[in-house]
Chain A
Amino acid sequence: MTPLIWAMIALVGLILFGAGMWSFVRGGFRDGPAGAEAGGEVPMSPQQRRAWWGLGIGAAMSVAILAVFITHGPATYYQDLGFRLLTYGLFAVWLIAHLAMRRLTRPPAGESEVVEDERDRAIRSRALTVSLIAVFLVLAAWAIGLTEYYWDEKAIPIDYPYFILWSAIVVGLLSREVGVLMGYAGWHSHGES
């Protein structure tokens, strides 16, 4: 029963990812008719598009990883080799999906369009700060939570360091994409700042 749940969640995520990628590739890299010329929507920059994709992939894979942990129970992590391998496998799938997305969203060879400029670079730099703050908060939450919970035992179970590492990686990756999207949502408006 439990493996079935995570398998279904992972499958749904992969289907959504595949369908989205297919429509994206079919739609091409460029925007359609220049809507912004007539005062319409602001076109997405390549980095912004990648951030949306990265967030989608990350959210789907995070849900899958979380589902695996919930269904197996964190206490069995070190006893169950299959559980551990599954976790590593999901992270590997995440990495491969992310790299594939970056490859597919690259402009065609010989394209003269500028892919990124000063604004994109500034937003990316600030997104890194957002990511670092988010990771720091996660580590602080783990440290305070575990210390308070295991205060009387005067020892924290050895299971936790890996969980802390996994959660920091997940939050770091997701918060970076969120930071990029926040930047494009009007957070960054001055080239000299």
Chain B
Amino acid sequence: MAKAEIRNQIRRLRFEHGEMTQQQLANRAGCTRQTIVLLERGRYVPSLALAFRIARTFGATVEDVFEWAEPQGER
């Protein structure tokens, strides 16, 4: 089975929310700055709880922030 990919809009949303820094977002979402960096680079997929916390920080829904990119060849 092809590996699923989860994309996110964290970087864009940070800039749309007063150019929030990674550290500020990390503090508000309750994670380390390293995790935010890796999320923005697509190198880490968060738990559902962290995904909700990040979305709430932006006043958005999880689906506004995270997007399920269906792997090719899977239906």
Contacts and interface: CB of A to CB of B under 8 A. Distances in A.
Interface of A: 31, 34, 36-37, 42-46, 48, 112-120, 186, 189-192
B21 interface: yes
Nearest to A31: B33
A34 B23 contact: yes
B31 A117 contact: yes
At the interface, is chain B mostly helix, strand, loop or mixed? helix
Q: How large is the interface on B (under 10, 10 to 19, 20 to 34, 35 or more residues)?
A: 20 to 34
Nearest to B31: A117
Contacts of B21: 34, 37
Contacts of A186: 43
B18 to A, nearest CB: 15
A186 to B, nearest CB: 7
Interface of B: 21-23, 26-27, 30-35, 37-38, 41, 43-50
B57 to A, nearest CB: 13
A189 B50 CA distance: 14
Q: Which 7 A-B pairs have the closest CB atoms?
A: A191-B47, A117-B31, A36-B37, A45-B34, A191-B46, A190-B45, A45-B32
Contacts of A189: 38, 43-45
Contacts of A46: 32
Contacts of A44: 34
At the interface, is chain A mostly helix, strand, loop or mixed? loop
Contacts of A116: 32
B16 to A, nearest CB: 16
Contact of B22 (A34, A115, A191, A192): A34
Nearest to A188: B44
B41 to A, nearest CB: 8
B23 A113 contact: yes
29 contacts: A34-B22, A34-B23, A36-B33, A36-B37, A42-B34, A43-B33, A43-B34, A43-B37, A45-B34, A48-B34, A113-B23, A113-B26, A113-B32, A114-B31, A116-B32, A117-B31, A118-B46, A118-B47, A118-B50, A119-B38, A186-B43, A189-B44, A189-B45, A190-B44, A190-B45, A191-B45, A191-B50, A192-B45, A192-B48
